[in-house]
Structure 1
Amino acid sequence: MTIARAKSKTVFGVPVPVACFLFAMMLPTAVSLNLGGLRLSAYRLVLLVMFLPMLFQLLANQRGRLHIFDALLLTHCFWALLALIKWGGFAQGLESGGIYVIECAGAYLMGRLYIRSYQDFAAMARAYVGLVLATLVFTVPEALTGIHILHDSLASAFGGPKAAYIEPRMGIERTFGPFDHPILYGVFCASAFSLAYFVIAERKLTKFSNVSKVVGVGLATFMSASGGPYVVLMAQIFVCAWERVLGTVQGRWAALFSFFAIAYLAIDLLSNRTPFHVFVEYLTFSKQSAYNRIIIFEYGTAEVARNPLFGIGLGDWIRPVWMSESMDNFWLVTAVRYGLPAFFLQVGLLLGMVWAVGQRPNFPPAWRRARHAWAFTLFGISVAAATVHLWNALFVLFFFLIGTGAWMLDAQPSRQKRKTRRPVPIATCRPARLF
């Protein structure tokens, strides 16, 4: 039940390039080099060093066959590069676009090329969850005292600024961990939930070690006191519970998508607000935040309508004078900056890859759990990305996680017969126990 894998050195089972990448993501952006006005953070340095070797390996089919999703990713990056050149001219566009390509394509290729088997994926999951749990040593005291231990100590060592003051929520200080904002820390932690539940705990919550890892991820997410990370976590818990209860039911995912569609139509028909307005209002902490995100959506989509092909690059967007330039919607930022083609290529990569991996038959149980962990993680981040922007470490993390599922496109399970449960009709199914 293994697939051919390229030989590479590992650290605790994790390929060395991936280990360096994950470690570099845990360093604040203050830990960086400035070369001619270009900021090279730790994870950018790792991706920059590895980019050309990874691109060569991809084009030479050295670590899995080249497929359409690689083409979608590279075309997305090429279009974003064109949009930035159109905005700032060749020199400025090449500098800004080059960094975008390094971060977007480089992070994807890191996961795509170095996670080539279930063993690689499981080792990555253990390392990722381990990093999240390790941050609790610092973020629990941080939430109680307001002293940003990790961020400020590392930033000060490299002459960088300390964490900005942010109002407490729910009686605790919002924690930064090693990241530049509580939202970044929270999404980083919440993204580990499905990996902890499906891969490390193997869906079994009867052992203390398993429960402690899953609960630890939830606790770390809570320390951020941010709505976006909570959405990532809740979305994963919801689909995990759906899979747990209806795991043997044929057509359960079609039923889930039908449920979402019916809910959307019901809100649209019965409410005097759009479903987007309702969604944002109930998934943010304050009415002010919800109102701000609604205004961002209205002015952002108007900007897309004015510049549908190449967007506005890194230029300023039209908005009320009292609004910040920050746009808290990752999907909208992509369309505004790089145009609708870049947006559809990005969405096509994500949805197409999840659908293609989901169609692969005869996966052994461990591989199916890995598939669920990967897809549910991306689902949670994608939902939250409608209300938060993914930038710096979270941007590269998102594309890295997309790439880590590519091995399942090439995976060749053993042909020996296995005992598998035949899906039962939904009408005769009894709900399974949740735990």
Structure 2
Amino acid sequence: MIMKYTRFPSLSNGSARLSLTNPAARSLGRFSDHTEKTTTPKAATSARERPSPILALFLTSFFVPVVWNVATFSFSLSRLFLVFAALPTFIAWLSGKAGRLQATDVMVVLTALWAALTLQIGVGPSSPEYAVITAIEFLTPFLLGRVLVRNEGQYRATVRALGWAALVLLPVAALEALTGFRVFNFVFGLPQPSVAIDDMRLGMVRAQTVFVHPILSGIALAMCFAPIYFAVRPFRGAITAGLASAPVVGVVFFSLSSGAWVVLMTQMMFMAWGRLCREISARWYILAAIAFGTFVVLEVLSNRSLLKVAAQYLALNPWNGYVRVVILENGLNNVWAHPVFGLALADWARPAWLPSSVDNFWLVMAMRHGIPGFLLMAGSWLSALIYLILSQPETKSTRMSRDAHAFVLISVAVAIFTVHLWGTALYLAMFMLGASGWFFDPADEPTRERAREAADEAGASERQARRS
């Protein structure tokens, strides 16, 4: 993704100190119960901030499906943006615009460097561009999230922009699913592709909207569901929040992708559990225990691993489920054969009838970049979740957004066992990973809502002192 560099907005500088501890950290069991309204609609309006121009350009680049071929590379507008934004974003991060250094930062930087190293070893020194572009695609969207989303106002502005994007894409996805007509291809003068049988499910065409594949359209939009819902609910109530997030549900449905549906339904499950068990302080520990117990039971009672069970049954088509299991088995064999540096861009050993594509992001990381590459990326995801658990938001609305972000990271981590991420969907996932950092270390400047609550609290204390 590309764009001329504009100076990043002034954000508070934090000390470059690596920390996973917070003296006042809340436990997982103290995630918010999502039952109270924190402010009036008027207060919500006053707290609004506009998204950064850089962020607006980043998100807008997703809506241009034009691709330019340069030598052996294909450049979408979003990839072009990342190339131009890479250096200024990295400098902004180094200068402290993202606040304190976090373990997630280190893990993602190491992931990008290791991925570049494995590709350089595999492809050879004559083609360093593969290593460079891969490092940019992993690191730059993550750093954009870290630098451009530093407080609640900026986070809500980002989520609001994603909500408008979903609203725009809903009729586009519906029209494509029902007729096969791609609106953005028409807008940008691109040919309308013929609809193959493989593109049909439930009697409809799998809508890919502005993405290169229906799976990516569904996964990318599904990441926005819980953040949109909980950005609206504290101020407008559950009904309005449901209406605001409904376009996301529609676009995800029309993608007709089981992986995208898993992301969406997992978030809904978390939200329902939090609502039903809101009076139980340890509800998230209980849910984690249930999930772990289910994993153990399935591993003991089933004659196949849980990964194989998930790969087969998290598919709308039984044949696709079977193929995923065979891909998993052969993919793991390739990982064990090349455990350190992986295969890079080399073809992988498999039966002749098996397709070359691998619908498993975690497996691709291990196959392409070795076990260290997989562990570094998984560690990035895990450390981001730990920071979310340890964070101590000061307002109820921020706690709701924190929970929503955790739901997204967990649901995506589960779903990409059956889906591969690339292109704009990968960029959005890495951006969301980076945008989680502010919950633990928000910028010093408070949002208007936080200032208002502080003033109310000070007034109450003053009145109490007068009575005394």
Instruction: Give the shorter-chain TM-score range.
Output: 0.7 to 0.9
Q: Which moved more, 1:310-319 or 1:18-27?
A: 18-27
Distance in 1 (alpha carbons) for counterparts of 2:107 and 2:361: 18
For residue 407 of structure 2, give the secondary structure of its aligned residue in structure 1. Answer: helix
Question: What TM-score results when the alignment is normalised by the length of structure 2?
Answer: 0.82
For residue 89 of structure 2, give the secondary structure of its aligned residue in structure 1. Answer: helix
* 2:19 corresponds to 1:19: no
Distance in 1 (alpha carbons) for counterparts of 2:236 and 2:297: 36
Match of 1:144 in 2: 178
Which runs of 5 or more structure 1 residues have no equivalent in the other structure?
Answer: 420-435
For residue 326 of structure 1, give the secondary structure of its aligned residue in structure 2. Answer: coil
Match of 2:133 in 1: 99
Residue 226 of structure 1: CA displacement? 1.2
**Root mean square deviation, CA, Å:** 2.4
Residue 225 of structure 1: CA displacement? 1.1
Which runs of 5 or more structure 2 residues have no equivalent in the other structure?
Answer: 1-9, 14-47, 458-468
For residue 91 of structure 1, give the secondary structure of its aligned residue in structure 2. Answer: coil
Structure 1 residues 87-146: Cα deviation after superposition (integer angstroms, max 9, x where no partner): 011132x21111111111011011110111110000100100110111112221222112
> Which residues in structure 2 correspond to 1:34-53 (within 5 Å)?
34-53=69-88
For residue 202 of structure 1, give the secondary structure of its aligned residue in structure 2. Answer: helix
> Which residues in structure 2 correspond to 1:363-402 (within 5 Å)?
363-402=394-433
The count of residues paired between Structure 1 and Structure 2 equals 406
Match of 1:128 in 2: 162
> Which residues in structure 2 correspond to 1:396-435 (within 5 Å)?
396-411=427-442
Question: What TM-score results when the alignment is normalised by the length of structure 1?
Answer: 0.88
Match of 2:38 in 1: none
Match of 1:80 in 2: 115
Residue 43 of structure 1: CA displacement? 0.8
Distance in 2 (alpha carbons) for counterparts of 1:13 and 1:297: 44
- 1:153 equivalent among 186, 190, 201: 186
Distance in 2 (alpha carbons) for counterparts of 1:228 and 1:409: 29
For residue 14 of structure 1, give the secondary structure of its aligned residue in structure 2. Answer: coil
Match of 1:428 in 2: none
Please tell me whether the aligned partners of residues 186 and 192 of structure 2 are also in contact (alpha carbons under 8 angstroms): no
* 2:284 corresponds to 1:253: yes
For residue 201 of structure 2, give the secondary structure of its aligned residue in structure 1. Answer: coil
Please tell me the residue identity of whatever aligns with 1:184. Answer: L
Please tell me the residue identity of whatever aligns with 1:40. Answer: F
Please tell me whether the aligned partners of residues 360 and 420 of structure 2 are also in contact (alpha carbons under 8 angstroms): yes
> Which residues in structure 2 correspond to 1:2-401 (within 5 Å)?
5=11, 13-28=50-65, 31-92=66-127, 94-150=128-184, 152-154=185-187, 156-157=189-190, 162=193, 165=196, 166-202=198-234, 206-207=238-239, 209-361=240-392, 363-401=394-432
For residue 350 of structure 2, give the secondary structure of its aligned residue in structure 1. Answer: coil
For residue 440 of structure 2, give the secondary structure of its aligned residue in structure 1. Answer: helix
Q: Which moved more, 1:337-346 or 1:271-280?
A: 271-280
Residue 331 of structure 1: CA displacement? 0.4
Structure 1 residues 322-371: Cα deviation after superposition (integer angstroms, max 9, x where no partner): 01110000000001000111111111111111112211235311111111
Residue 184 of structure 1: CA displacement? 1.0
Percent identity between the aligned chains? 31
Distance in 2 (alpha carbons) for counterparts of 1:79 and 1:247: 42
